[in-house]
Chain A
Amino acid sequence: MITPIKALRKNRFKTALIFISMSVSIAAIFLISAISGGVVSMYSSMLKTDGDIIVTQKGIADTFFSDINRSVTVTISKIEGVKEVSGLILGAAPVDPLPIVGIYGVSENRFKSYSLIQGAYPAAGEVMLGSKIYETLKHPETISLSKKEFRVSGAFKSRIGFEDGGVVMGMDDAGEVFHKSASIFLLSLNDLSKSDAIIAEINRINPEMEAKTTDGFIDSYNQFKIIKTSSDVIGAMAFLMGILGIVSMMSMVVNDRKGEFGIMRSIGLSSTTIILKLLSETLIIAVIAYTVALGASLGILELIEHADKFQGYINGEITVTLMINVFMVSVSMALVGTLLPAIYASRIDPMSLIQRGGA
C-alpha cells in the first residue's frame, strides 16, 4: 500500500491530472443519473400518491396529452374494490415572471395529499402554490394564468419538487385553462389483489381509456424510458471520456516510468506484479476521485434543489444503489484505462525499458 502511494506522490502532476479526469467523469455520471432518476422518482411519487391504478387516454405518449372524460369517474367509483377515484389535469403554462410552471388541476378529494403551510385549499377561481414558487413569487395574492387572474388561496409544502414548484387548482378551473376534462384518473383500491379485474372492467367501460397498475404504468411509460436511455447514453459517454482520459494519462505515466519498470523487471519482479502495481495506483486514485465526486455531486444537487431558477424541478436523488453502481463504474474505469498501457509496458524487454527510460 505504501509503495503505490509513494509512486503517486512522486508523479504528482500526472496523478493530479488523472484524479481530475476521473473525478469529473464520475461526478458527471453521478449528476446525470441522479437528476434523471430524480425526475422519474418525483413523477412516480406523484402518480403513486393514492394511486394503485392509473387511467389515461389509450395510446398516448405523454400524460400531458391525455384527455379523458371526467364523468366516467362516477361509474368507475362504483366498481367493487375501488376505494377512491381522483382526477388530475396535468399541464404547464407561464406564470409571470416565470416562463414555465407545472399546473395541476386536482379533484377535491385529492387536496388532502397537500400539506398546507398557509391559507386554505383553493375554491373556484383560486389556486394554491407550492412553497418553492410561493417564495419565488414573494407571496403573491393573485397570479395570472392564460390571461385570467386567480386568487392565491394558500401555499403547501410537498416533498415532490414538481409539485413544490407548481400551481394546484380545482379540476373545473384547470379544465378551462387547458381545454380538457381530465388527463388521468388515479384509483386507490381496497384490495390490491383485485387490480387485474378492476383494470379489465375499466378497459371494458370505455375502449378509448387505458387502465394500468401505477407500477406497470411507470415501468412502461415512454417518457421515463426516454429519460433513462438519455441518461444511460450520457453516462456511458462520460465513462468513455473517463477511460480515454486515464488511458492517455497512464500512457504518459508508463512512458515516463519505463526505466523504473525495467529496473523492477531486472530484479525479477514479474510482469503481473508491475501490472498490479499500476492498477493499485489507479485504484487508489479512483477511490479518492469517487469520494470527492460523490461529495461534489451531493453539494451540486443541494445547490440546484434550492436554486430559485430551477423552482425545485431538478431534484436529484443519489440512492445507495446508484452509489454502488457508480463505484463499480469508477473501479472499471480505472482498471480498463490502466490495463492497456500496463500490459504494453510489461511486455517490453527489461533492458529495452531501461535504455528507453533511464531510471
Chain B
Amino acid sequence: MRIEALGVEHFYGHEKVLNGVDIVIEPGSFTAIIGESGSGKTTLLSILSTLLQPSVGSVRYDGKILSELGNIDHFRRAHIGFVFQFHYLISYLSLRENIALAALDPTLIDPLMENLGIERLGKRYSDEVSGGERQRAAIARALINRPSVVFADEPTGNLDTKNALGVYELFKSFSKEGTGFVVASHDKKIADYADIIIEMEDGIVKKIHK
C-alpha cells in the first residue's frame, strides 16, 4: 500500500509538533524515521497509521483519503500493524490471547508464533516472559492479519542490543516477503536495515536518504 502524507501539520493544544510534512511510503518498503526526542517522529507515525487525525493536511492510502476508506477500524485491522516501544500487551490476557484479540483468522496464530520462536509461551502472561519475548508477541500481534504495512514506534527502545538486532532482523525478513515497515527510532543501527531513511527535526522532514 502506498501511503502519501500531504502538508500534514499537528498541534497538541497550541504547540505545533508537525509543520507541513510531505512524504511518500512506497509499498513493501522498509522506511526508518529517525530524529531526536520531540522531533515529531511518534506523532507522524501515529498519523500515518490512522491512530491520530492530523490537525491540517491529509494522508492518502493508495490514493484514498481516510473518509473514502470506509470503516476505519476495519481498514486498520486488515491493512495496518502497530508495534509500540513498551510492547503494550494486555496484561490480563496470555500472549496467545493477545495475538488472538487482533486475529481475523485464528488458524494463523500458531504458525506465526512458531515463526517468531514464541510457540511455547502462548499460555504465559506478559509479566512472565522476558522483554524480548514480550516484544516478539507484540510483533506477532501486529503481523497476524498479514498487514500491508507495520508501523513501529521505538520498537527496540526497551531492549538490549542483542534483542534489538533480533527485532530488526525479524522486520527485515518479513519486509522481504512484501510487508512494508515504517519504524520510528533514534537508534542509528536501524539505518543498516532500512531502504529509506527520513530524518525529522523540529516537526519537519529535514532529509530523506535512499
Name A residues whose Cβ lies closer than 8 Å to a Cβ of B.
3, 6-7, 9-10, 259-260, 263-271, 349-352, 354, 358-359
Contacts and interface: CB of A to CB of B under 8 A. Distances in A.
Contact of B101 (A267, A271, A350): A267
A258 to B, nearest CB: 12
Interface in B75-106: 75-78, 80-82, 84, 86-93, 97, 101-102
A268 B76 CA distance: 5
28 contacts: A3-B97, A3-B101, A6-B93, A263-B84, A263-B88, A264-B90, A265-B51, A266-B51, A266-B82, A266-B84, A266-B88, A267-B76, A268-B73, A268-B74, A268-B76, A268-B145, A269-B101, A270-B74, A349-B51, A349-B52, A351-B46, A351-B51, A351-B52, A354-B51, A354-B84, A359-B86, A359-B87, A359-B89
Contact of B93 (A3, A270, A354): A3
Given A265-B73, A359-B86, A10 B92 contact: yes
Contact of A354 (B78, B81, B88, B97): B88
B141 A267 contact: yes
B53 interface: yes
Interface residues of B, number: 30
Q: What does DSSP make chain A's interface, helix, strand, loop or mixed?
A: helix
B130 interface: no
Contact of A264 (B49, B52, B101): B101
A268 B142 CA distance: 10
A270 B51 contact: no
Contact of A260 (B76, B77, B84, B90): B90
B67 to A, nearest CB: 15
B91 A359 contact: yes
B71 interface: yes
A78 to B, nearest CB: 80
Given A266-B51, A349-B52, A359-B86, A7 B92 contact: yes
Contact of B71 (A3, A270, A349): A270
A268 B102 contact: yes
B52 A269 contact: no
Nearest to A7: B92
Contacts of A269: 73, 77, 101-102
A9 B74 CA distance: 29
A263 B102 CA distance: 10
A316 to B, nearest CB: 40
A206 B92 CA distance: 77
Nearest to A8: B92
A260 B90 CA distance: 6
Contacts of A271: 73
Given A10-B92, A354-B84, 4 more contacts: A265-B51, A266-B51, A268-B75, A269-B77
Nearest to B79: A268
A12 to B, nearest CB: 11
Given A3-B97, A359-B89, A268 B52 contact: no
Contacts of B86: 358-359
Nearest to B89: A359
A150 to B, nearest CB: 70
Contacts of A263: 84, 88, 90
B90 A359 contact: yes
A268 B93 contact: no
A3 B97 CA distance: 9
A268 B49 CA distance: 11
B91 A268 contact: no
A264 B84 CA distance: 13
A270 B88 contact: no
